Every structure is written in C-alpha cells, then in structure tokens.
Chains A and B, each alone.
Chain A
Amino acid sequence: MQTLVFVVFPYVAVLLAIGVGVYRRRARAYTYSALSSQLLEGGRLFWGSVPWHYGITLILLAHLLAFLFPGVAGLILASPIRLFVAEAIGLALGFYSIFGLAILMVRRLPGQSRASAVSSTMDWVLLLFLAVQVATGVAVALFDRWGSLWFLSSAVPWLRSLVLLRPDAATVAGLPLLVQAHFVCGFVLVLLFPFSRLVHVVMLPAGYLWRPYQVVIWNRERRAHD
C-alpha cells in the first residue's frame, strides 16, 4: 500500500503529466490556454485571482527551494526565531491563498456570475483538489507544527529518492495521515495538470522579458540576401 501510494502513484502522475502534456502541446496546441474568465466577470476575479496566484506561487517557490537546497534551508531554520517567522509567513500566505481560492470558487457557482457559464466539470475537480491541497497544507502548519523543518528530513529524502530513481518511502511512511494526504493530493494535482487548464502554469511567458516587440513571420524563404 505504502509503495503504491508513495512510489507508483507519483511516478504514474509525473509520467502522465509530461507525456500527455507534451502530446497536447504538440497535437492539440489550440487547447492550451489559461481560459481566463475576466472578460465575463472582473470585480470578484480581482479579489480571488490576485491573492490566489501570488499566494500559491510564493508557497510553491518556498517548497521548491527547500527541496532543492535542504542544507541551506536547515541552516536558516536552525534558529527558533527564524523558524517561527518562516512558519508564520507560510501560514499567512496559506490563508491568503485560501481566501482567494474561496472567492474564485464562489464566483463560479451557478447564478453567481457569468463565469459559471464557462466552468467545466474539470474546473470544479481542479478547484476541489486545489482547495484540499491548500487546506491540508494549512492544517499541517497548524496541527503538526514546524513542518518547514521536519519536511527536510522526511519529504525531501523521499522526493529525492523518487527523482534519483531509487524510490524509498520509508521516511514518509510513518507520518500523520494529514501530512500524507497533503503529499498524495499534491501528486493528484500533478496528474490533473495535463488534463486541465493547469497547463498554463508551464507556459509562463518569461521570454517576453527579452524578445523583440515586433514579431515578423514570412511564409516563404526570403530570397537573396537578408
């Protein structure tokens, strides 16, 4: 069971995410879109989308950095004051994201705004799992304190073992159910990625920062020298 949940499932999710994601980008590029509904409803979107996107981006960034540099993270969090501050910021960002997500969900409810007209089943599945993921994250921060520290010695070795193709779920097997639910839900979101509007996350247009303002495309080869 542990192997199935913490080894097989993550691999399946990641492989599908990459495989289907790449296939969809190449064969069905037209379906890649952030599917914004701002044109239909903008007032509540502001209070939902901005807190959600900024909150969750910063939280994910913290997760990623701690995973990539556990040593540095450990040093930083070694002092109780810094640990407390990190946890407090994390918790605040968690509430900030949940606040945004709740508004995003309410505005998509039938009859609430025109945005409900463009809400698919997959949108609701996604919203639900995102809500579960952030809620479990906040719950962990509240009830299984100092996760930013013990995460380094439990989740990080496990994730690293998955990346290095030497899967070992021993470090997470004994964790509380709440924490395990957070991990599983995370990989459910990875699984949902290629089948939902989440694909827009990887299309973040960083290239815009340096590309020329005008794009010119020729249908045929330009003759002579150019």
Chain B
Amino acid sequence: MDVRCQVSMVFHLDKCIGCHTCSLACKNLWTGRPGTEYMWWNNVETKPGTGYPTLYEDQEEYRGGWEVDGDRLRLKLDTRAGELLNLAFNPRLPSLDDYYEPWTYTYETLTDAPLQDDQPVAVPVSLVTRREMEIEAGPNWDDDLGGSPIYAANDPNLKGIDEETRRRLFETERLVFFYLPRMCNHCLNPSCAAACPAGAIYKRGEDGIVLVSQEQCMGWRMCISGCPYKKVYYNWFTGKSEKCILCYPRLETQQAPACMHSCVGRIRYLGVLLYDADRIEEVARRPDHELVEAQRSLILDPCDPDVIRAAKAKGIEDGVIAAAQRSPVYQYVKVWGLALPLHPEFRTLPMLFYVPPLLPVTGSVDDGVYETSADFFSSLESARLPIRYLASLFTAGDEEKVVEVYRKLIAVRVYKRGETVGDVTPARVAEALELGRTTPEEIEAIYRLTSLASFEERFVIPPFAREAAINLIQLTQTRQEGGGMGFLRAPRRGL
C-alpha cells in the first residue's frame, strides 16, 4: 500500500448560480499576462452546452485521456513514438478559434478623438494581432443557453438521448440548464503529464497538485491534446503550457484557492484524501460501469489505524492525516457517495467531484399562473434533466449510479421538509429514507455540510506550511529546478 495524499474538491451543483465570480478571481490572480488572455483555468459552463473549448468532450476528435487496450492502459492520443513523430505538427491540437481570439477595445479613442459630429466609438482590437477584429466568439458565448441551436444542441452528452426527449429539452416552455464550473481535476492518473514528451508535467508528492514546470516545458503541445478536459492551455506568447496550479502558494499559507474563497454560492469544498497509489493503473483499467465505484475504493479511510500507520511510514505528516479525517470531500465522495467525477470514462481518475444538480424546480403554467408542481422537491420521475444526460456526464453512462445519488438527495429534502414544514407524511419520509438508503443521522450530517458549513468546514487545508515551512521553501527551489509558476524573473518570450 503506497499511501499518498491528494488535495481534492467537491462542487455542489445545486448551489451554483453561474455568477462566474470564481473565473474572475482566478483570472485576476493568474492569467492576465500576454498569451494567457484566452486561458480560463477556471470557467463555468452552461449545460447542455458544448463547453470550452468548443466540443472538448468529443474524444474521437481530440483523443484526450486513456483507453484500454487488452490488459494495458494507453494514451488515446498516440503511442510514444507516434507523438515524437508529430512534434512538428500536432494533428489533435485545438486552434485558437476553438477557444476564441482575445480582444480589447480602443478605449483611448473615447477620450482622444478630436471634436467631431459623431460620437467616438471604441472598436474591438485583437490582443493577438493588435488589429481591429470582428468578434465571433468569446468566453461563455453560450452562457444560459445563448445560441443553443448551435451550442447546446450539439452537446456530445446528448448522443444517447432519443429525438423526443431531446426535442422536449429545447422547447421554449421547458428549457432547462444548469451550471458546470470546471477547473483542473488534478487527476491521479493525469494524461497531460503522460503525454508530455519533455516530462515537464509532474504531480507534487505532498499534495498531488499537477504542475507544468515552466523551465522544462518546450512547447511541444501534446499535453493540450492529452488532457481530455482541455485544462492545459498553450501560452502562444511565451511558448509554454500553463494550467491551474490550485493556488498552491495560497494553500501553502493556509488559504483556500482564489476560486473557492470567492465562491458566492459556497458550492466548493476542499480537503485532502488519502489514497493507494499502487492501485492507480489497475483502477483506471476497469470497465466503464465499474469506474466510479473503483475510484471510490481507491480512497482510503483516514481513521483506519492500518491506513494511518502506512501513511506515517510514507512520510505523511500528522497534520495532514488529521486534515484528511476532517475532509469534507471524504464525506461527500466516500462516506455519502453523493459526489461523482466528471467523465470517469476518460480514465484519468479526476479528483474534482460533483454533486449532481437535483433542481431546476419543475413547474407548469396554468391560465397564465406559474405553478410549481406538486412534488416540488421530491420526484425523480418529474426531473427535467434526463438521467441519461447526467449519467453521460458523471458516471460513464451508468444511470443507476446517478439515480442512487438522487434518491439520497431527495431523501434529505423530504426528511428536512417533514421536519421544518411538517406537510410530509411519516410514511412518505420513511419511504424516501429507504429508497435513499440513508438514516436521519446521515441526513442531518449531509444537511449541515451542504447548507450550514462554515468556511473552516468547507475548506480543510492541511498545515502544509506552518510545520514544514522552512523545509518546503528552502528546498523547493533547489530540488525542483525552478518547477511551477514561481518565476524568479519576468516570464519573457524566448528569442
């Protein structure tokens, strides 16, 4: 048993209001430099939708992630030799047009324009070419289903859904969507790192954060194709790949990452998980329908004396083990089984988990009056989002897994409504509890962490810094050969 520690996240999608505060907090902190304007290390997508970059989920096109070949796991992108032969031109690289061409406006004309008959206009100017441009796409171009006949209708996750359901999904009266905030999953089996010919992408031993060494990176661009979530971005100005660093400088000083700290809906949870690194490949090789369960089994019980002993033997600090025991992520993912990974079938073992959205509220219009349906909180059958669609996102198509999660979420609602409003019969509550395979105690715990949790309960950051501060800071530079984002000099483009 090779116990390792992983900083992991849970996003509770029922609470996401799609305000993009997380994206802006991240952008302000990390991606304001030339060449990074189009990078959204954190972004919020509307689902159904084609995501960012457009259609990133279509791995037949982009070949990201892993595939099983007999009893071996191999990169979907190419063989190692094949990659080397494609260094001059990567046939699977998205173009800037699959993202968008970043722009600004000529604001100065508003103040500099000479006296004239017409109002001066600030025209859009490309941040790449500095020429005037026609804006054709931008970040969140399909926000709240904008342009849904082009974007939402082409969502790859709608593939398995029949025509009738699909048509209903896009009827004006029944339109439905939810938000999917995305960032680097800091995978246990990162295919970006595996695809990097230079070996520049590495996982930090202490916390599992995946980083691109800015000095080792040669700009071969294979990581961008290799990552099925398209969360490694190519800086076209400096010729280096960049990605979410999970705000490790903040984590090391006991602060939550910027995106999480700023989250208005408080949908984000962060904590550490202990897992068995020996089993990574075996788990990633499982058949599609076993992946979610297998990944859960990889996560170890931080209170189990055997696990603690093994963790200590591997040099994991007591403070980290204590943090793992209080981890909100462990509760959501392992204990309650409510949080699911995004597209487990990519086989990278992503360590960012989502509690699928139970709302949107169902409703109908009668005689011009909007009525919420009778089973406002509680019915899976009247769910507006097809289970099949959610299964395509979160369980590699296994609808039963999604239903399991929903039954428990519904049980929480039914139980709490019975308790606080009192209009639910005890029989109905008992039925919901049984279907959800849960208990009043568990429901209380879920309710607490979902609705009432304080900042300290949502973000349980292990003491990476305090105890080992000097050790960490002094050795980081010498041992990592300047890895990561800690620039000693301004990041200038090479000659």
Contacts and interface: CB of A to CB of B under 8 A. Distances in A.
Given A30-B215, A42-B89, A226-B315, 20 more contacts: A29-B216, A36-B219, A37-B236, A46-B91, A196-B495, A204-B84, A205-B198, A205-B220, A206-B84, A208-B80, A208-B197, A209-B80, A209-B84, A213-B194, A214-B203, A214-B280, A217-B483, A220-B206, A220-B471, A224-B312
A222 B205 contact: yes
A213 B280 CA distance: 12
Contacts of B493: 31, 35, 118, 120
Contacts of B360: none
Contacts of A49: 88-89
B202 A31 contact: no
A208 B95 CA distance: 25
Interface stretch (A50-58, A145-153, A182-190): A50-58
A203 B198 contact: yes
A224 B468 contact: no
Interface in B455-476: 468, 471-472, 475-476
| Chain B contact residues, majority secondary structure | loop
Nearest to A41: B95
21 contacts: A29-B482, A31-B493, A32-B218, A33-B217, A33-B218, A33-B219, A36-B221, A40-B95, A54-B88, A195-B495, A199-B494, A200-B219, A203-B218, A205-B197, A214-B189, A215-B201, A217-B480, A218-B205, A218-B479, A219-B206, A219-B471
A215 B193 contact: yes
A52 B88 contact: yes
Interface residues of A, number: 55
B239 A45 contact: no
A117 interface: yes
Interface in B184-206: 189-190, 193-194, 196-199, 201-206
Contacts of A215: 193, 199, 201-203
Interface of B: 80-81, 83-84, 87-91, 93-96, 101, 126, 128-130, 189-190, 193-194, 196-199, 201-206, 214-221, 234, 236-240, 280, 312-315, 468, 471-472, 475-476, 479-483, 487, 489, 491-495
Contacts of A207: 199
A66 to B, nearest CB: 24
Which of A50, A205, A225 has most chain B Cβ within 10 Å? Answer: A205
Given A205-B197, A217-B483, A40 B84 contact: no
Contacts of B95: 38-42
A136 interface: no
A36 B223 CA distance: 14
B56 to A, nearest CB: 15
The 3 A-B residue pairs whose C-beta atoms are closest, nearest first, are A33-B239, A31-B494, A218-B205
B237 A118 contact: yes
A114 B131 CA distance: 10
A216 B239 contact: no
Which of A28, A42, A204, A215 has most chain B Cβ within 10 Å? Answer: A215
B366 to A, nearest CB: 53
A218 B214 contact: no
A216 B315 contact: no
B96 A39 contact: yes
Given A120-B495, A205-B199, A219 B219 contact: no
Contacts of B96: 39-40, 114
Contact of B128 (A114, A195, A221, A224): A114
Contacts of B80: 208-209
A141 to B, nearest CB: 24
B240 A33 contact: yes
Nearest to B489: A30
A209 B218 CA distance: 16
Given A31-B495, A205-B218, A116 B89 contact: no
Nearest to B83: A208
A38 B221 contact: yes
Nearest to A25: B215
A177 to B, nearest CB: 31
A208 B220 CA distance: 12
Given A116-B129, A209-B81, A220-B468, A35 B494 contact: yes
B260 to A, nearest CB: 22
Interface in A5-54: 28-42, 45-46, 49-50, 52-54
A226 B2 CA distance: 9
Nearest to B187: A214
B321 to A, nearest CB: 14
A34 B494 CA distance: 9
Nearest to B129: A117
Contacts of A54: 88
A30 B206 contact: no
Nearest to A120: B495
Contacts of B199: 205, 207-208, 211, 215
Contacts of B483: 217
A122 interface: yes
Contacts of B280: 214
A118 B236 contact: yes
A205 B88 CA distance: 13
